């Protein structure tokens, strides 16, 4: 087990405290037997100090254990989960300060109630194993939480993006494209740009871009199947890395290479920067105000907006999640991305984000997502239209979804499009806006009768809409929950009667 100095202090403190408690000794008892002060022993147990050899000898003698037992970094079975946590790089790599957590306070919490905290950590580790969660997925979940905490809006990056545009005298009306951003990379940052050769490097198939650092000039290799719009975003993100001076970085778009939380965070910052220079917030806010003021739902206006900004539906929706909370007061929303192979009835949620509260829907393992969701219906519609429809076309559909279990209403907008880099793979991106009084004041067309209204739920396995024609599976989770509730009622009633 590889531990840094801080964690070695904590391990020693945890062992000392557990041994003392096992022997029924108070701090005062240990102080009297060892000759060390209560305050000093307390500092040791909290991992703040590591005693010198003579003091370790005194502590070992006072508790009737040998020296090697006390200094060994091996923890007891009860504390093994804490040991596993400390030996991982999570505590050292994850910048806890971003989440308002003082690392010193966390270590003190571990030392204050080690057995209870150990049980809790063990539970989290077991859940992660059951769901095959890797360290990279843990970092990604932490990043998503960080975004949600800040309403996915970062003023410092917005200002940096606007400064970049101002430095180059780029007007609001000028939309940055692949050619312009490629020139910036070459002329301002000395990059060379090449296509990825699938024949020479077949392992790079599906990778959008690869950065090869060089002392003189970095090389950026681009997937030749990417559209011009996708290339523009890749170049914009690389400019973000350079302009924001982000050193610890990913070299590809494949998140599996992530070795630390900082790399994922920097990748997010660079991507946010790319979105901000391509879809300028001042211009986007102006256009959204006009759209929300319409009396009727007009999906073509949104699709035209995406084409105007020379972007993809996903980047556009993601940019909406940046500006809606800050500039329109719409803070209750979710963002989802689903993938589906044309002709198949299997849908995978590949990205999700929830602002302000944990909305439905969210990722559920081994269950069938509600087939009434517009996010899935639009993928089925797209598959039916292919290959007759232009592969570059974008479908846009909307729905007001009423969740039967929570009675929450959402205005949901979905876009669907085929993937240029993968044959027969279609993707939908969805923005769901919680409907409260404030939102209804902002969006005028919500009463348009052409917007479909449907009762929906989370998954078939949890749904009480028994007459649903779209059901894909029996409500097994719901049935089990009701059976347990009925059992609790029977037990309670029998106890009360006696």
User: In the sheet where 333-341 sits, what is the strand order?
Assistant: 348-355, 333-341, 425-434, 409-418, 395-403, 452-456
The phi, psi pair for 333, rounded to 5°, reads -150, 165
Q: Are 422 and 405 in contact (CB under 8 A)?
A: no
pTM exceeding the 0.85 threshold for the entire prediction: no
Instruction: Pick the most confident of 129-133, 223-227, 325-329.
Output: 325-329
Could you read off the pLDDT of 413-430 as tens digits, one per residue?
999 988 766 668 899 999
Summary mean pLDDT of the chain: 85
Report the DSSP beta bridge partners of residue 434.
Answer: 410
Binned at pLDDT 50, 70 and 90, residue 1 comes out as very low
5-133 belongs to CATH 1.10.10.10: no
Region 85-91: what's the mean pLDDT? 61
Look up tokens 């699938």; give the residue.
Answer: 198
pLDDT of residue 5 exceeding 80, the answer is no
Pinpoint the residues of the chain covered by CATH 1.10.10: 155-278
pLDDT bucket at 125, cuts 50 / 70 / 90: low
The CATH code of domain 155-278 reads: 1.10.10
Confidence of residue 297 (pLDDT cuts 50, 70, 90): very high
Find, among 392, 403, 408, 397, the residue nearest to 369 by Cα. 403
Return residue ranges of the chain for CATH 1.10.260.40.
5-133
What is the mean pLDDT of the segment spanning 461-489?
91
pLDDT digits 0-9 by tens, 9-24: 877 887 888 888 888 8
Cis geometry, peptide bond prior to residue 463 (ω within 30 degrees of 0): no
Per-residue pLDDT band for 323 (boundaries 50, 70, 90) equals: very high
Question: In the Cβ-directed half-sphere of 343, how many Cα atoms lie within 13 Å?
Answer: 4
Q: What is the mean pLDDT of residues 17-33?
A: 88
Q: Write the CA distances from 457 to 66, 219, 362, integer angstroms.
A: 61, 48, 11
Alpha carbons 266 and 245: distance in angstroms, whole number: 10
pLDDT at position 389: 59
The 3-state DSSP composition of the chain as helix, strand, coil percent (nearest 5) reads 50, 15, 35
Q: What percent of the chain has pLDDT over 90?
A: 51
Band of the pLDDT at 118, cuts 50, 70, 90?
low
Q: Which residue has the higher pLDDT, 76 or 276?
A: 276
């Amino acid at each position: 087990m590889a531990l840094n100095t801080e964690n070695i202090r904590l391990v020693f403190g945890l062992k000392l405290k557990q041994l003392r408690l096992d022997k029924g000794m108070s701090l005062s008892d240990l102080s009297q037997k060892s000759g060390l002060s209560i305050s000093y022993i307390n500092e040791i147990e909290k991992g703040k100090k590591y005693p010198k050899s003579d003091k370790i000898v005194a502590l070992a003698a006072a508790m009737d254990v040998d020296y090697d037992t006390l200094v060994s970094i091996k923890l007891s079975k009860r504390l093994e989960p804490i040991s596993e946590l400390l030996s991982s790089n999570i505590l050292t790599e994850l910048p806890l300060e971003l989440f308002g957590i003082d690392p010193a306070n966390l270590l003190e919490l571990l030392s204050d109630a080690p057995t209870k905290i150990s049980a809790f950590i063990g539970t989290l580790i077991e859940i992660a194993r059951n769901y095959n969660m890797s360290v990279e997925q843990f970092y990604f979940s932490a990043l998503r939480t960080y975004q949600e905490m800040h309403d996915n809006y970062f003023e410092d990056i917005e200002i940096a993006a606007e400064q970049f545009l101002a430095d180059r005298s780029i007007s609001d009306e000028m939309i940055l494209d692949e050619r312009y951003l490629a020139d910036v990379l070459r002329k301002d940052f000395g990059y060379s740009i090449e296509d990825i050769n699938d024949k020479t490097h077949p392992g790079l198939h599906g990778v959008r871009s690869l950065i090869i650092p060089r002392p003189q000039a970095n090389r950026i290799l681009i997937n030749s199947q990417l559209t011009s719009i996708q290339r523009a975003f890749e170049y914009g993100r690389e400019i973000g890395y350079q302009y924001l001076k982000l050193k610890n970085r990913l070299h590809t778009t494949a998140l599996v290479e992530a070795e630390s939380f900082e790399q994922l965070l920097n990748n997010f910052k660079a991507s946010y920067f790319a979105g901000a220079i391509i879809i300028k917030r001042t211009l986007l806010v102006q256009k959204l105000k006009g759209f929300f003021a319409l009396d009727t739902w007009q999906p073509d206006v949104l699709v035209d907006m995406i084409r105007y900004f020379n972007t993809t539906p996903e980047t556009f929706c993601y940019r909406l999640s940046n500006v809606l909370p800050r500039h329109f007061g719409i803070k209750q929303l979710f963002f989802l991305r689903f993938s589906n192979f044309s002709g198949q009835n299997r849908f995978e949620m590949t990205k999700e984000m929830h602002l302000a509260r944990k909305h439905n829907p969210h990722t559920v393992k081994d269950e069938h997502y509600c087939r009434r969701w517009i996010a899935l219906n639009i993928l089925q519609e797209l598959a039916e239209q292919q290959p007759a429809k232009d592969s570059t076309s974008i479908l846009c559909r909307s729905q007001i979804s009423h969740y039967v279990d929570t009675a929450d209403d959402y205005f949901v907008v979905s876009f669907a499009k085929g993937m240029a880099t993968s044959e027969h793979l279609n993707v939908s991106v969805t923005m769901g806006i919680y409907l409260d009084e404030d939102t209804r004041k902002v969006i005028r067309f919500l009463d348009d009768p052409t917007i479909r209204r449907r009762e929906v739920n989370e998954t078939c396995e949890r749904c009480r809409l028994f007459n649903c024609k779209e059901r894909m599976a029996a409500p097994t989770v719901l049935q089990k929950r009701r059976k347990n509730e009925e059992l609790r009622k029977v037990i309670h009633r029998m106890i009360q009667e006696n």
